[in-house]
Every structure is written in structure tokens, then in C-alpha cells.
A and B are shown apart, each in its own frame.
Chain A
Amino acid sequence: MTQPIIQMKGVVKSFGCFQALHGVDLSVTEGEIVVIIGPSGSGKSTLIRCINQLEEHNGGDIVVDGIAVGKGRRRAAQAEVGMVFQSFNLFPHMTVLRNVALGPVRVRNLSWAEAETRAKRLLARVGLEDHIAKYPGQLSGGQQQRVGIARALAMEPKVLLFDEPTSALDPEMVGEVLDVMQQLAKTGVTMVVVTHEMGFARKVADRVVFMDGGRIVEEGRPDEIFNAPRDPRLRSFLQAVLSH
């Protein structure tokens, strides 16, 4: 068995008096594609935001690549974990190329020339080689999200987190982003994906995790989760999302 790259034990997170995570255990091995599904408010996003410490957990342990993250150990994990956001969060005042090159220059100490070479290669990989000089505002949502993916990849992270990457997209653009993600999954990069795209989960995931009410209710291979769900909550969730 390969080394777990993310190990979460009894992770608890509350926002004021609302408890978003009730002691979650999850470990992800290197190269694994984990897809987290569940109804809104089930704690999926909070869970992955704890991995790169955009949210500080209140209890339990999170170890990323051998480093225990938490209070004061925020940046240690952040550079090793890439994140793709639901609302892209590209830097609007920088060109596409600069968006992708910034992290490697500022955090990995590459020169601008080196970083831009890397950025061009990654932008070509997501099919945007013709748009490198544009600003994010000039791109469609799907293109922006592909820049977001290239930006995360440019840091050569050990883990890539996707927080509902297609939820803010017009339907006709969902496919191009999912295609890029599927390509990526084949390259052996470790991915943790929160999504409502059940087709993607079924096709690409090594493991599907179903969350509800701040807990992991059920997890397993995609065929187990989609064809033989055991928990009644998972069954009704799948019925609701797959019946259309």
C-alpha cells in the first residue's frame, strides 16, 4: 500500500454554534482520485478547505505529506496543495499567463522566464495557448476555470483539490472543464474533488465518499456507491440527483 498523502483523523470544524464537521476520518493515498458527493451543507467543501487550511479545523488531526497542519502551520501545507475554486478566483488585474506564473515565481523562486515557460506549457495542456495574453474578464467561464486548473498545476502540488469546479458554469461549458480534469486524472496526480457531476464521479473516481450532516456516511468504489448504495440517505440522495 502506498503512503497516504492526506490523513485526517477525527476532524471537527464549527462555525460559531454550527458544527460543520463531526469528527471526519479520511485518508487519501498518492495518485488516488477521491470524489466527495453529498447534499449542500453536508460539509464537503468545508472538509477540503480544511486540507489546505482555508478553514482552520477545531479538533482532530490533519497530516498532509507528512506535515501536521493547523495553527501556525498554514503555509507549509498550502504550497503543496493546489486548489481550484467554484468561482475561479483568478486575479483580474493580471494576464492569464501571469496568473499561472505568479505562484512559481513567488513561492517556488523560479525566474519569470522559467515560470512563463512552465505556464505556457500548462496553458497549452488545458487548450488555452491562444489566450495567454488576455485578462480573465475576457474569457468565458469554462476558459477561466481551465486557467484556474493551470494555475493550481503550476505549483506542481502533491494534491489537487477541486471545490465544485463546474457549479458556477453555464451548462455548455461544464464538459470542457470535466474533460481537462479527466485528462489530469490519468497523469497520476492525486485529486480530491467535490462535485455534483455524478457522471464524472462514476467514470473517473477511484473512490467515492458520500457525506451528510458533517459526517462521512458511506465510501467505496464508484460501482459500489452508485449500483449498490447501502445507507438510506445515500440512496435517497442518488435518487434525487440521478432521476432527472
Chain B
Amino acid sequence: MSIFDTFLNWKVFVQTLPLLLSGLTTTLTLGVTAIILGFVGGLALALVRLYASPPFRQLSIAYIDVFRSIPILVLLVVIYYALPFVGLRLSPFGAAASALSLVSAAYSAEIFRAGIEAVPKGQFEAAYALGLSPWRLMGDVVLPQALKIVIPPITSNSINVMKDTALASVVAMPDLLKQATQAQALAANPTPLISAAFIYILILLPLVRLVGVFEKRLAGRGR
């Protein structure tokens, strides 16, 4: 048997492609959901951490530290298999989206904090001197500049979230990896797994390149 029959079997590939594509749709939906929730949650956490009153600030710091320490796989298993014992039963998608967003929010929060802190102090002063409210100061002056600064690390984090969606196969979510293993069993051939690997690379490699481009552009502007 040649390597083509085993790993790159065209017939098996064509047969299992619909299954793989349905898995890809699930993976993308899960990834995008977690990225968006993580983005919003992270921004909120960063603002609380920087500007809320001390007890809330401490809570935010505790959240960020805990969720950066826990392995996503462990969190996912806890959410999916342990929470039902207290009556909270989530679908595989719900569990996976929760685990990924909770962790992504913690990482995003640190990225946003760094971005906000990188905005020069004079910008805050100029906004105060105009009499802008704290919300206007953030929305009009600080965040537009901070977001530009955090584009590369946030994209990088999004790539990680997209990759971590593969963990969802553990809780029987029909994502790309799960469908590929399923297809492998059905076809008794590992081609679907190889195909899945290529699909992951095909989708994420451009994003990885993009981070490099963003970083270069940001460095090129000098500030």
C-alpha cells in the first residue's frame, strides 16, 4: 500500500469531505462565538481592573489570574461533566463556548489593559482638560488608540481560540476534529485526519501571517 492510498486517499477524501465541512462549520461557529464573547468580556474585565473601585478591581484580577491558570481542557470537562451535578446542564456547544470564552476573556483582558496603558498620559490629560466624561474619554480618545495597538496580540489570541476549539471534540461536539475521527473510523483510513489537519492550517496560516503584517505596520509607524 502506497502512502497515497493510506494518508492521501482521494476517494476517501471525496467521500468524507461533506462530513468534514459540516465539522468545519461547527468549528468556525464555535470559534467566532468564543472570540466575540472573549473580546467583549476581556474589554469589560480590563476596564474594571483599571478603573473600578477596589473590591471590583480585586475580583477582576482574581478572575483573570484564575482563568489564565486553568487548562482549557480541564475547565471544559468540569463545565460539561461536573456542573450537571448542580443542575446546570449545557449542550456540548454551550459548554465548549463557555470554556473558550471564559479563558479567552481573561487573556484578552490583559491585552486590553496593556493597550490602554500604552496610550500616552497626555491623551488622558487633554481629554480631561476638555471636560470629557470618563466614558467619552474612553470611547472617543483612549480606546480607538488602544485598539489599534492591540490588533496584533488580539489576532494572535483569536488564533489560539480557534485552535483550542478542537478540544470540544472531547465533549462529543461535532467539530472538525470530531468529524474527522468519525470519518476515519467509517472509512477505516486516516485520510480524513490528514485532511482536517490541512483545513486547520489553511484557515489559520493566513491569520498567522496577518499578525506579522500588523506588527510590522505598527512598528513602522514608530508609535
Q: Which residues of A contact B (CB under 8 A)?
A: 52-54, 74-75, 78-83, 85, 87, 89-93, 102-103, 106-107, 151-152, 155
User: Which residue from B126, B136, B144, B148 sits with its C-beta under 8 Å from A89?
Assistant: B126
A155 contacts B122, CB within 8 Å?
no
Q: How far is the CA of A106 from the CA of B139 in the complex (A)?
A: 11
User: Which residue from A79, A89, A106 sits with its C-beta under 8 Å from B140?
Assistant: A106
A85 contacts B132, CB within 8 Å?
no
Using Cβ atoms and an 8 Å threshold, which residues of chain A touch B120?
Answer: 89
Using Cβ atoms and an 8 Å threshold, which residues of chain B touch A83?
Answer: 125-126, 129
* B144-156 contact mask (Cβ, 8 Å, vs A): 1 or 0: 1100100000000
Query: Within the complex, what minimum Cβ distance (angstroms) separates B130 from chain A?
Result: 4
Using Cβ atoms and an 8 Å threshold, which residues of chain A touch B148?
Answer: 93
Interface residue? B123 (CB, 8 A)? yes
Interface size on B, residues (CB 8 A): 18
Using Cβ atoms and an 8 Å threshold, which residues of chain A touch B122?
Answer: 85, 87, 89
Using Cβ atoms and an 8 Å threshold, which residues of chain A touch B170?
Answer: none
Q: How far is the CA of A181 from the CA of B43 in the complex (A)?
A: 41
User: Which residue from B128, B132, B223 sits with its C-beta under 8 Å from A106?
Assistant: B132
Query: Within the complex, what minimum Cβ distance (angstroms) separates B112 from chain A?
Result: 17
A74 contacts B128, CB within 8 Å?
yes
Query: Within the complex, what minimum Cβ distance (angstroms) separates A76 from chain B?
Result: 9
Using Cβ atoms and an 8 Å threshold, which residues of chain B touch A93?
Answer: 144-145, 148
Q: How far is the CA of A82 from the CA of B130 in the complex (A)?
A: 7
Q: Which residues of B contact A (CB under 8 A)?
A: 120, 122-123, 125-126, 128-133, 136, 140-141, 144-145, 148, 223
A-B contact pairs, 23 of them (CB 8 A): A52-B128, A54-B129, A74-B128, A75-B133, A78-B129, A79-B130, A80-B131, A81-B129, A82-B129, A83-B125, A83-B129, A87-B122, A89-B122, A89-B126, A91-B141, A92-B223, A93-B144, A102-B130, A102-B132, A102-B140, A103-B132, A106-B140, A155-B130
User: Which residue from A74, A92, A151 sits with its C-beta under 8 Å from B130?
Assistant: A151
Q: How far is the CA of A85 from the CA of B124 in the complex (A)?
A: 12
Q: How far is the CA of A83 from the CA of B140 in the complex (A)?
A: 19
A79, A80, A85, A102: which has the most chain B beta carbons within 10 Å? A102
A107 contacts B132, CB within 8 Å?
yes
Using Cβ atoms and an 8 Å threshold, which residues of chain B touch A78?
Answer: 128-131
Q: How far is the CA of A151 from the CA of B131 in the complex (A)?
A: 12
Given the known interface contacts A91-B123, A93-B144, A93-B145, the answer about A103 and B128 at a Cβ–Cβ threshold of 8 Å is no
Using Cβ atoms and an 8 Å threshold, which residues of chain B touch A80?
Answer: 131
Using Cβ atoms and an 8 Å threshold, which residues of chain B touch A151?
Answer: 130
Given the known interface contacts A102-B140, A106-B140, the answer about A89 and B123 at a Cβ–Cβ threshold of 8 Å is yes
Query: Within the complex, what minimum Cβ distance (angstroms) separates B134 from chain A?
Result: 9
Query: Within the complex, what minimum Cβ distance (angstroms) separates A157 from chain B?
Result: 9
Given the known interface contacts A102-B140, A106-B136, A106-B140, the answer about A91 and B126 at a Cβ–Cβ threshold of 8 Å is yes
Query: Within the complex, what minimum Cβ distance (angstroms) separates A68 from chain B?
Result: 17
Using Cβ atoms and an 8 Å threshold, which residues of chain A touch B136?
Answer: 106
Given the known interface contacts A87-B122, A93-B144, A106-B140, the answer about A52 and B129 at a Cβ–Cβ threshold of 8 Å is yes
Sorted from nearest, which 3 A-B pairs have the closest CB atoms? A79-B131, A89-B126, A89-B122
Q: How far is the CA of A137 from the CA of B24 in the complex (A)?
A: 44
Q: CB-nearest residue of chain A relative to B223?
A: A92
B145 contacts A92, CB within 8 Å?
yes
Q: CB-nearest residue of chain A relative to B142?
A: A91
Query: Within the complex, what minimum Cβ distance (angstroms) separates B53 from chain A?
Result: 14
Query: Within the complex, what minimum Cβ distance (angstroms) separates B131 from chain A?
Result: 3
B125 contacts A107, CB within 8 Å?
no
Q: CB-nearest residue of chain B relative to A92?
A: B145
Instruction: List 11 additional A-B contacts (Cβ < 8 Å) besides A85-B125, A91-B141.
Output: A54-B125, A54-B128, A79-B130, A83-B125, A83-B126, A89-B123, A91-B126, A93-B144, A103-B131, A106-B130, A106-B133
